[in-house]
């Protein structure tokens, strides 16, 4: 195992997991804690595809919704246990990722908009009145599933470990180096013998599966929901902003993004809601102007200069 | 000298536009061949075809006695073909990562050893190994492109316009570096429009309109008045100082 992988895991992932594991004893807002882990997974999941292939899917929430509905429909129509239904949620998002894989032929804003349109299309299919018997349609779903806050929180942390472990591995492995080369200069990568399409597809599907799994856990923790709730564009926007704020392609960046911005969102949003949008907007503007590669780039700059 | 690379009646193009019209060319072991041609002559298309980045429409490519016409780029790299394109580095990655990428399909231990050798060959890159490649000067980028291509320990290094975007001073530095590689036993195929590179060549081919028109030694090309006018812009009584 490479030293860099062990170092990053020990310095970032391990302390984060320890903090998340003890937080329920220090802070009793279980929903907020779960939401933090959900956004950590979404930010790291988006980091997989944006940080390592350069594709920014505005419609990332589509995978989250697919996971939530994959979980819900499994429980509604089969006798499968919830844990299996969570896996089905991941598979549903993986299949959605496969169906949408041709979008990877597009570039930049075209890809972003096409993924957004695909997420909206999926939401409309699920919310279709004619499919009410199967999906619950516009009336949403009400699941009869046992409320297990400790299990769902632990499951969410487990998914986070898997996704962050994958990010840490990609940062140190030759496969990850190939991906970063293809993101940086696809033509040169192809001339070096790198299979650009294969690499992009792998991280795209991994990213989709991560969102699907956490979408399923989210659905388990809030078993009554409407299509609008799990296909809410805010999930995509938050995941993108958190990732860019902290630094895409790094392990610590999305964590910083979630801790600082989601923390600010909850602190300022509650204590001074009048100023929340203003403060949030100023923070993001300052970041884009002074640290376009994210806060984590500060450490990289210092290391490279030093 | 033994046969290393041979193309026979190679044809290629983009969509309805045919660019290469039956290119015959060969490179032997321990030989440097310069493919001379102006912009639009078809040199880059030929290089892409050699590396499997563009499928050929007809003809064959043979490398070290094996026909590689239908192979992927990776398979060609693994067999000892290495390509240095005009913009062949990764600016967001560090210098060391760029060199690692050159040896991507070799065992890690080999890649590490080779990187150490290349840092000895190009000390300026060693100093800057942790810097982003995008921060290097034009000449240093070219050095990095060469080092990256050499990291694979190729049998034949194929280069597309190594002088592009360089000042005359840096062109001389690049030629010096390539001469050292050549002295080490590496075979080179260099597509260029800068005649300075003729000093490296054992043989020269000229390409125009997607066809090879001349194959001979640098001395022969300079002895031919028509070719001298076409490529050197010189008359019968002028002499070339490479």
A304 touches chain B (CB under 8 A): yes
B90–A174: do the CB atoms touch at under 8 Å? no
CA-nearest residue to B85 within chain A is A188
For chain B, give the percent of residues with pLDDT over 70.
Answer: 94
* Count of structural domains, chain A: 1
- The three-state secondary structure class of A128 is coil
User: Angle at which helices A82-99 and A61-77 pack, to 10 degrees?
Assistant: 140
Task: For chain A, positions 124-183, list CB contacts with chain B under 8 A.
Answer: 174, 177-178, 180-181, 183
* Predicted confidence band of residue B2 (pLDDT cuts 50, 70, 90): low
Tell me if A177 and B100 make a contact (CB, 8 A cut-off).
yes
Which residues of B are less than 8 Å from A177 in CB distance? 93, 97, 100-101, 104
In chain B, what residues touch A303 (CB-CB under 8 Å)? 130
- Report the C-alpha gap between B135 and A146 in whole angstroms: 57
Task: Assess if residue A18 is contained within a domain.
Answer: yes
Mutate to test the interface with A, among B46, B104, B110, B112 (most CBs of A within 10 A): B104
For the segment B214-240, the average pLDDT, to the nearest whole number, is: 71
Q: What is the dihedral of CA B100, B81, B201, B171, to 10 degrees?
A: -30
What is the per-residue pLDDT for B233? 64
Beta strand segments in B112-233, E:
156-160, 187-192, 203-208, 211-216
- CATH 3.40.50.300 residue ranges of chain B are 1-80+155-242
CA–CA–CA angle A149, A154, A157 (5° rounding): 130
CATH superfamily of the B1-80+155-242 domain: P-loop containing nucleotide triphosphate hydrolases (3.40.50.300)
Residue A271 covered by a domain: no
What distance in Å separates the CA atoms of residue A54 and residue A180, rounded to the nearest whole number? 9
Tell which residue, A65, A59, A52, A61, has the closest CA to residue A109. A59
Chain A contact probe: residue of B49, B82, B88, B90 with most A CBs at under 10 A: B90
Average per-residue pLDDT in chain B? 87
SS3 state of residue A240: helix
The reply to whether A246 falls in a domain is no
Tell me which residue range forms the domain holding A158: 3-236
pLDDT at B219 over 60: yes
Interface test with A, best of B72, B82, B92, B108 (most A CBs within 10 A): B92
What ipTM score was computed for the predicted complex, to two decimals?
0.79
Residue B109 neighbours by CB under 8 Å, 6+ apart:
none
B120 touches chain A (CB under 8 A): no
Q: B102 touching A, CB under 8 A?
A: yes
Sign, CA dihedral A60-A175-A189-B172, equals positive
Lowest mean pLDDT among A250-254, A276-280, B150-154, B192-196: A276-280
Give, for all 306 residues of chain A, the pLDDT tens digit. Answer: 578 899 999 999 999 999 999 999 998 888 999 999 999 999 999 999 999 999 999 999 999 999 999 999 999 999 999 999 999 999 999 999 999 999 999 988 999 999 999 999 999 999 999 999 999 999 999 998 888 999 999 999 999 999 999 999 999 999 999 999 999 988 889 888 899 999 999 999 999 999 999 999 999 999 899 999 999 999 999 999 999 999 999 999 999 999 998 988 888 877 777 787 787 788 778 888 888 888 887 776 545 544
pLDDT at A286: 85
Work out the pLDDT band at B240, boundaries 50, 70, 90. very low
B72 touches chain A (CB under 8 A): yes
Query: What are the chain A neighbours of B150 within 8 Å (beta carbons)?
Result: none
Residues 42-61 of B with CB under 8 A from A: 51, 53
What's the gap in Å between the CA of B129 and the closest CA on chain A? 9
Q: Is residue A269 part of a domain?
A: no
pLDDT at B242: 42
Q: Is residue A159 part of a domain?
A: yes
Sole residue written with tokens 């779960």: A34
Q: pLDDT per residue over B16-56, tens digit each? A: 999 999 999 999 998 999 999 888 899 999 999 999 999 99
Q: Inter-chain contact B72–A193, Cβ cutoff 8 Å?
A: yes
Structure tokens belonging to residue B92: 């967001």
Nearest C-alpha neighbor of A300 from the set A233, A249, A257: A249
- The Cα–Cα gap between A255 and A36 comes to 10
Q: What is the DSSP letter of A231?
A: S
How far is residue A21's CA from residue A278's CA, in Å, rounded to a whole number?
33
* Residues in chain A closer than 8 A to B87 (CB atoms): 185, 187-188
Bridge partners of B160, per DSSP, are B191
Q: What pLDDT is attached to residue A306?
A: 41
Residues of B in contact with A300 (CB under 8 A): none
Q: Tell me the mean pLDDT in the region B168-196.
A: 86
Nearest by CB: A191 against B83, B100, B131: B83
Q: Min CA distance, B197 vs chain A (Å)?
A: 23
Q: What is the DSSP letter of A193?
A: T
What are the chain A neighbours of B153 within 8 Å (beta carbons)?
none
A-B contacts at Cβ under 8 angstroms: 69
Strands B3-14 vs B58-63: parallel, antiparallel or unpaired: antiparallel
> Assign residue B240 a region: left if phi > 0, alpha if psi is -120 to 50, beta otherwise?
beta
Closest CA to B122 of B100, B150, B97, B160: B150
Nearest to B90 among A174, A185, A190 (CB): A185
Nearest-CA distance A199 → chain B (Å): 14
Note the pLDDT of residue A301. 58
For tokens 């704020």, name the residue.
A245
């Amino acid at each position: 195992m490479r030293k860099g992988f062990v170092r990053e895991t020990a310095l970032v992932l391990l302390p984060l997991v320890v903090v998340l594991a003890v937080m329920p004893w220090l802070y009793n807002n279980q929903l907020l804690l779960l939401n933090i882990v959900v956004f950590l997974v979404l930010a790291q999941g988006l980091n997989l595809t944006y940080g390592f292939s350069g594709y920014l899917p505005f419609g990332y929430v589509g995978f989250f919704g697919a996971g939530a509905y994959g979980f819900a429909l499994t429980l509604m129509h089969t006798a499968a246990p919830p844990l299996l239904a969570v896996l089905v949620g991941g598979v549903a998002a993986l299949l959605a990722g496969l169906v949408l894989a041709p979008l990877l032929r597009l570039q930049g804003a075209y890809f972003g908009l096409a993924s957004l349109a695909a997420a909206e299309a999926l939401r409309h299919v699920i919310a279709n009145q004619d499919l009410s018997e199967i999906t619950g349609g516009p009336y949403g779903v009400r699941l009869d599933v046992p409320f297990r806050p400790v299990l769902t929180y632990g499951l969410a942390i487990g998914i986070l470990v898997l996704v962050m472990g994958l990010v840490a591995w990609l940062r140190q492995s030759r496969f990850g180096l190939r991906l970063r080369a293809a993101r940086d200069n696809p033509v040169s990568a192809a001339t070096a013998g790198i299979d650009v399409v294969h690499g992009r597809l792998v991280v795209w599907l991994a990213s989709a599966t991560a969102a699907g799994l956490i979408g399923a856990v989210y659905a388990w923790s809030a078993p009554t929901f409407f299509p609008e709730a799990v296909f809410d564009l805010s999930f995509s926007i938050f995941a993108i902003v958190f990732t860019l704020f902290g630094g895409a392609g790094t392990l610590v960046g999305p964590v910083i993004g979630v801790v600082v911005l989601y923390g600010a969102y909850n602190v300022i949003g509650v204590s001074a809601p009048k100023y929340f949008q203003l403060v949030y907007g100023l923070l993001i503007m300052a970041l884009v102007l002074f640290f376009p590669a994210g806060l984590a780039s500060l450490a990289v700059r210092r290391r490279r200069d030093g | 000298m033994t046969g290393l690379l041979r193309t026979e009646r190679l044809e290629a193009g983009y969509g309805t536009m045919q660019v290469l019209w039956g290119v015959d060319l060969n490179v032997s072991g321990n030989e440097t061949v310069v493919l001379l041609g102006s912009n639009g002559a078809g040199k880059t298309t030929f290089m892409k075809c050699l590396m499997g980045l563009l499928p050929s429409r007809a003809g064959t490519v043979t490398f070290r006695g094996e026909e590689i016409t239908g192979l992927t780029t990776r398979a060609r790299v693994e067999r000892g073909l290495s390509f240095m394109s005009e913009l062949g580095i990764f600016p967001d990655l560090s210098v060391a990562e760029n060199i690692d990428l050159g040896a991507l399909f070799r065992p890690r231990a080999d890649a590490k050893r080779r990187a150490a050798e290349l840092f000895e060959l190009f000390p300026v890159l060693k100093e800057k190994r942790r810097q982003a490649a995008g921060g290097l000067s034009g000449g240093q980028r070219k050095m990095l492109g060469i080092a990256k291509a050499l990291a694979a320990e190729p049998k034949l290094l194929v280069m597309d316009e190594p002088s592009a975007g360089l000042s005359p001073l840096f062109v001389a530095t690049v030629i010096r570096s390539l001469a050292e590689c050549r002295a080490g036993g590496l075979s080179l195929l260099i597509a260029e429009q800068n005649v300075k590179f003729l000093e490296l060549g054992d043989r020269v081919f000229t390409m125009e309109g997607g066809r090879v028109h001349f194959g001979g030694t640098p001395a022969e090309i300079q002895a031919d008045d028509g070719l001298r006018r076409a490529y050197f812009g010189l008359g019968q009584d002028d002499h070339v100082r490479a």
